[in-house]
Every structure is written in C-alpha cells, then in structure tokens.
A and B are shown apart, each in its own frame.
Chain A
C-alpha cells in the first residue's frame, strides 16, 4: 500500500514537472521561432530557398518568415531570381516557385504590404517594380488601396506618359479589387475626379468588368464628365447591353441625350449604344437621324434601328420613317384594345391578340407587361404561348414572371420559360430554376 502510494505521488510529481516544463518551454520555443524568423536576412531567406526541396515545403518555410521578408520576396519577384546567397550566381525562379513566392508575399498582413508599397511608391520605383507592385495590390487590395495603386502607376512627372504596360496593369489590378470589394464601385466617381485623366480610361475599363447594376450606374454617372471619355463609356455601356446586363431607365436616358450631339463620333457611339441597349424610347430620335449628312452616322443609326426593331430595312431611311409612323399610329389607335385582349382574353381570342401584338416591336416592354400578366393563368397552353411571345420580344420586363414559371409543376411550362429566359438574357444556363434565380440575383 505504501509503495503504491509512493508510486502514485512520484507519477503525479513527474506529470507536474513535465507540465511545468512544457508550459515554460512553449513560449520560449515560440519566442525563439519568432526571433529566428524576425532575424531573417537575405542570406537566411536564401537558405530557406536552398533548403526547401519542394514548392510546398518552400511555402511552409517562407510563411514563418518575419516582416523583413517582404522586400526580399518582392525583389525576388521583380528580378525573377532567387535571393542572393553569398555572392554566387542567382538562379532564375521556376514558374512554380514564383507562384509560391507571390502567394506568400500577398498573404502577408495588409499593413505590412501597404507600408512597404507606400514606401516603394515614394522612391520612385522602376517600371518592372511598378508592374510587380500592381500585381500584388491587385491580389490583396480593396477599394481603400485604389489610390495606392494609382501612385504606383503614375510617374513623378505629371506630364510624362504612362507606359502602356503599366496602364494595362492598373486596369487589371483595379478590376480584381472591384471584383473583390463591390462597395468600392461607388467610390470610382471620386477616383476619376481626383486622379489624372490619363487613368480615367483604365478606371472605366475596370468598372466595365464588374457585372453589377451599381457598376452600370457608376459608368452612366461618368457620362458628361469629360468629352474625351464619353465614347469609351458609351462603348462599355453598349457591351453591357449586348451581354444582357440589366440597364435601368436612367442610364438609357443618359445615353439618349447624346443622340443630340453635334459631334459625329459621339453620335455614332450613342446610336450604337442605344441599339445595343434596345432602347425603344430612342427610336424617335434615331428616325430623325436617318438623313444625317455623315454616312457613318447614318449607318450607325440604321444598325441601331435594326437592333431595336429586329427588322431588316437596311439603309432605307424612308422605310424606317414610315415604319415608325405606322407603329406610332398603331400605338395611339389600336394598342390599348389589343393589350386588354391579351390581358383578359382567353382561348382563340388571346391567341389572335398575341399574334397581332407580336407584329409590333416598338413598344415591346409594354407588350411584354401584358404577356407577363398571362403567365399567372391556369390555362397551360396560354402560359406556354406567353412564354414564347416573351422570348421573342426579348424584353427583360417579364424576367421575374418567367422565373416563377421555372418552378411550375408542368414540365412543358418550365421548358417554355427556360427557352424564353435563354432568349432574353442570352445566357446558356441549364433548366434549373436556382441557376436562373442567381443570375437574376
């Protein structure tokens, strides 16, 4: 019994001693590790490179390095070589090692990277350093770092042109930052106002890569800030229209104002954009431009009218004019009764009204609204017909109603709604309603 008690006491004592030792040793080990990491020198970093046998091991070792490693790793990337070790010849980085170094650098705490890049921007840096710094900012930065990115891009001499590669790098980095930080989009207007005009085009290009309504509104709000920038903004808005991105009425109105411009180049760009946005409200002004003295304006106007109406009247100005007047006459005299028949009619009457309405494209949003009401009916044939009509009209007005039809119990209705959504949005998503809901999202 005594010996048993003695053994138990000894075991407890041993555990206590080991525990205390471990408790004391842990901070020391950590401190020692930190001390060794914080003492990293170019030679020590170079040793890490030499000792690591695989890129994964190198990543592990480099991630323990202290803040002093930031400039060393950055220098590795700029020179595309291993860090100098003992004055020997430096080997070039392999693509895998380069990717590891870049990842490790960008995973450093933001304040370390920011302060390092701020210092770098003040030097001023070389073009290759700027390009590398742009990549780093693009990888870790948010909207707060847009001005730092600009400082890294611009030369000290404000009159010096920007190297084209730097401009491209700025656009790419800013696009990545905006993709990561959606809230930064709203700050781009200030950025355009504050930064030199040479970067305005790049900011517009970066904004154009963000597929959000906020980005569209921001682009539209930049219209009129500078005459030179307007054609680019109009072109980017046209691209968004062509890609099926939703464009609100205010943006369309902003574009429409440019159809009164005296500058043929702006007129061409505005007509092209109005066409791509399928802005029915612009038709009246476009029809007035069919006799414009500049041929390039006329051809842009005809292309826009063809895009909006879906008609192939080519460059026959008189035909476009008479078509417009006929559409207006129809709208004033017959459209109301026809839309009521679509909204309230059933069976053959509904089908006849639908066929007649599909002959008119000028007021397709209003016609689409009438068909959207028919989507809620119990008659499946009429719902399918409405889906087909909406698909042909190509108006985004009824997207919400079609999304509801995607959840209908009848498979033929779901298929008709799916095809209509494909036609309207130009997207090739599968017939699952979730994917379409996210797209509309």
Chain B
C-alpha cells in the first residue's frame, strides 16, 4: 500500500485558502441578503406608497363629492382648507372652489393619506332655477274672467283628457288676484291661488277654488330673457300658398310676418330668434317637435291675431319654449285658437290671452290678461323637470396630481402640522356662510334666522319655508316637489339669534 506524504512546503502553500473561500462565500451571501432585504424593502415601500396614493385618490374623490353636494344646496363648494382640512378616516382633504364664469365653478380637492397625495378637479355648472313651476303667474295683478278653468295634469302620465285628477294647479301673482264667475259660467281653479305678499284673492260670483288662497311668503323676481346670439336673416313677410319651413338648427329673422292664409312650420330641434313675430288672421303656426324641442325667442312685438291657429305636433309642454323679451308698452297678444302645449315666458310685457287658445304647460308674464273664459292646464311634470335642472351639471373631471408627500414623515398630520383630534368631519368643514332661513320648529312655530350658519342649530328645524346661503337659494333634494309660490305663514316670526 502506497501512501502519499504531503511535504511541509505543500501544506504551507495551502494554509488559509479555505478561510478565504469561506469569507468570500459569506460576504457574497451577506451582500445578496442585504440586497434582497433592500429590494424587498423598496418593493414594500413602493407598494405602501401605491396603496397610499390610491387611498388619497379616493379621499380626494370623496372630498369632491362633498363639495359637489354642497353646490346642490347653495353652499360655496369650499370644504376645509390646507390649514384646517376635513378629516376622513386616516386621511384629510380640502376643497377649493373657483368661479370661472357666471355659474361655472371649478372645484379642486387635495386628499392626503399616509404618504399618498392626490389632487383632483371638477368643473360644474350651477343648476338653473325654472320659473315654470310657478304655473300661471303675473308680476302684476291677475284677473280671471267667468267661465275660466285653471287646473293641472301630469304630462308624464298621459294626455290631459285621460287623467281624472286635475288638482295641483298654481295661479299666482306678486299683486292681487281677482276671480269672477257666474251661475252660467262658473270658474274653476283646481289648485292654489297665491297673491303677492300682503295681497288678497278677490272672489266674485260662482268660483270654486280647491286649494289655498294664502298670500306668498315673498315677492318673486322674474329673470330676464337671455336671447341667444344668432345671425338674423332679413325681415320676411311670408305670403304664399305654401308653408314657410324653418328647419331644425339655429335660425333667425329680423322680423317675420305670416300673412293671412299662409303657414309657418318650425321643426325641432331648433332655436329660432325673431326680432318680431306677427301671425295674421287665417294664418297658422305649427311647432313640429317630432325630432326635438323648439326654443322660440322674440325680442320685440309678438302678435297672434284672432282667427290664426297655433298647433304643436306633440303633447309634451317642455318641448316648446316661447320667450318674449318685449317691452311694457307693447303687449304680447295670443288671440289665436288651438292647443298650445308649451311654456310661455314674457317677463317684461303684458300677455293678452284669447279664450280660443288653450294652454297646456305654463304661462309666466309681467301681466297676464285673460280675454274671456280661459283654459289653462298646468303641467305638474314641470316641477320634476325643474328639480333636475336645479342640480349642478358636471362639465369636466381630471386628475391634477397623483404622488407622494416626499417629506421625511409619511403622516399628513405631521407634514401639515395638524392635531388629528382637532379636525372636523367633512359635513362640518364647509365654509361658513350667511344663512337666511324661515322655518317651522317642532311645535309648528314660525321662526326666522339671519346670521352665520355655524351659529345655527339645524336640529330645531321641522319644515323649511325658504332658505338662502350667501343669497343662493337652498334646494332640499328630499323635499316634495312643490309647485307655485311659497306660502306666507300669516303670522310674525320668532326672530332667532345665534344658537350655537
């Protein structure tokens, strides 16, 4: 048996090499472990940041929603501030509102949660107040002749003739209302009659009023007519055996006269602007709303002579909107016959309505003069349409910024220097406003309050009669859809001081 004997030189040459290898291996493992640890830490940190950004995004969305809901009830859209943000869960947000143009508001909300930060923006248009819920309304005194019928129906439920419930009409004025009737020609008002504040309803003869005759709580200010900018064609006199067709789209004439025996056909969807409109006897005007609604604006005189005819292809009053700017000296005469399913708004002039024209919809004017027995059928569906119009409309939404705080601390309360316990929840973080409110308390006592909203205790309110925030009407989405004018309580209110 041979044995290999290592020499001492060989042993000296190999001494410590295992240690080196071990050290290299250990160091490699250590480096790898450190790298993996750091990598895991980075991934974990990134995941945490992503989660925080997502949460911040949702907090900012919630902030926008809070501000948007505020807009629907007359609030400013300002919720919290960077110095005093609203607290939501483990995060905070504040919303800033900027009025870009009249009625157009930009809301910018910043949300912060953990290390996440998100900034979102919405541009919205404030809702519009519809005057057509007033039903039949005259700024000046309204006189209803004998044999008239003012009632209501709901166009969303079918035709007027098919409905048995004709109550819910609204007849009002900023001045007094005089209603006459005779045994042969009784007058029927199936709803409320509301004279102006401090004014009365004078009833003479055979008159039936199914609703209240209490006066209005406050006078109603009618807005002006906003005539759209449409290039007007030349003044036109249409005297032909064939109809004049105004097709869908925008169209305008400096003035338009429809001579006797001629026809005017306006097709929707269209916006028609006329300097003046004259429809002579034996002429007729047809609103064809088969394909869409029609808006007719008349800036000057508007005269539909006796013996002319007005007709609409549909029976939806909201599809035909007639607005006349007019002047107090030149009344708008609607002496045509036929059924007009539409809305008539003449805020600065008198409307003379002949008895052959039955109006289904609403009629609001500076002065309403009814010639003979009038047939006015208010469309209750207009209240539902108006409620939708009062809601703000979202025009744009965008993300302005999504990121991390980038500070040493990942806590927004540290970054902003806030005491979490001192922050308010979103509903209490809206900017303080001047609240003017008339309401009934739980004992049905009439109160009024005029002051900062922060000093008002909403828990004492049972029913709101009327309220404004910074002079903007407050809309209560859950309240029943009221038509006509707000009624006066008829007694002096209890004047409230600061409650909180």
Contact = CB atoms under 8 A, between A and B. Distances in A.
Interface of A: 161-165, 167-168, 196-198, 200-201, 226, 228-229, 231-232, 234-235, 238-239, 242, 268-269, 272, 295-296, 299-300, 303
Contact of A295 (B231, B248, B283): B231
A229 B242 contact: yes
Interface residues of B, number: 29
Nearest to B233: A296
Given A197-B242, A239-B290, A162 B261 contact: yes
Interface in B246-277: 247-251, 260-261, 263, 265, 267
Contacts of B233: 296
B242 A228 contact: yes
Q: Which of A164, A197, A296, A299 has the most CB of B within 10 A?
A: A164
B421 to A, nearest CB: 53
A397 B460 CA distance: 68
B282 interface: yes
A242 B231 CA distance: 26
A162 B290 CA distance: 25
Nearest to B236: A265
B245 A200 contact: no
B304 to A, nearest CB: 11
B186 interface: no
A198 B243 CA distance: 9
A299 B250 contact: yes
A296 B250 contact: yes
17 contacts: A163-B282, A163-B307, A168-B284, A168-B309, A168-B311, A198-B241, A201-B242, A226-B242, A228-B241, A231-B243, A231-B247, A232-B242, A232-B265, A235-B245, A239-B267, A295-B231, A300-B247
Contacts of A163: 282, 307
B243 A161 contact: no
A201 B263 contact: yes
B263 A296 contact: no
A200 B262 CA distance: 12
A296 B246 CA distance: 11
Nearest to B259: A161
Contacts of A269: 245, 247
A162 B282 contact: yes
Contacts of A238: 247-248
A29 to B, nearest CB: 44
Interface in B202-253: 231, 233, 240-245, 247-251
B187 interface: no
B231 A296 contact: yes
Contacts of B242: 197, 200-201, 226, 228-229, 232
Contact of A272 (B243, B248, B284, B338): B248
Nearest to A295: B231
B337 interface: yes
Contacts of B244: 231
Contact of B245 (A196, A232, A296, A303): A232
Contact of B251 (A196, A228, A231, A296): A296
Given A164-B309, A197-B242, A232-B243, A242 B261 contact: no
